[in-house]
């Protein structure tokens, strides 16, 4: 059984006991959260989507909050003396899917 769910503006294919990294979510580590924006669900080869999923929910547990790798942003205009260096580290939340209810 798996589901495609929208989390923080991105779509993820999730299954029970799977751990995924999503953009930073509000909540403490160990807290339980629910996602009700389920786009598609599959169970034993039968697919449900649209109006069939009005009551579908995906529950998850927040495992940890962390930062991703540093990305260097470097801008330069040749022959003008313009150089700009900037760095960015995206904040992520690691979640574990605890259940999918249809």
User: Number of C-alpha atoms within 13 angstroms, CB side, residue 90?
Assistant: 11
Residue 41 contacts residue 47 (beta carbons within 8 Å): yes
Question: What does the pLDDT profile of the chain (102 residues) look like in tens digits?
Answer: 999 999 999 999 999 999 999 999 999 999 999 999 999 999 999 999 888 888 999 999 999 999 999 999 999 999 999 999 999 999 999 999 999 998
The Cα 66–Cα 21 span in angstroms is 9
The CA–CA distances, whole Å, from 88 to 17, 69, 94 equal 31, 8, 19
- Per DSSP, 65 falls in state E
Task: Please report the pLDDT score of residue 29 as a whole number.
Answer: 96
How many residues make up the chain in this entry?
102
- Per DSSP, 27 falls in state S
Task: Please report the pLDDT score of residue 22 as a whole number.
Answer: 96
pTM (2 decimals)?
A: 0.83
Residue 52 contacts residue 85 (beta carbons within 8 Å): no
Task: Please report the pLDDT score of residue 40 as a whole number.
Answer: 94
């Amino acid at each position: 059984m798996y589901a495609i769910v929208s989390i923080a503006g991105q779509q993820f294919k999730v299954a029970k006991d799977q751990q995924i990294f999503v953009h930073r979510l509000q909540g403490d580590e160990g807290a339980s959260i629910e996602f009700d924006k389920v786009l598609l669900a599959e169970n034993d080869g039968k697919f449900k989507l649209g109006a069939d999923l009005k009551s579908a929910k995906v529950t998850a547990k927040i495992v940890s909050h962390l930062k991703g790798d540093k990305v260097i942003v470097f801008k330069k205009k040749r022959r003008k003396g313009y150089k700009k260096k900037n760095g960015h580290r995206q904040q992520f939340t690691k979640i574990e899917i605890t259940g999918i209810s249809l």
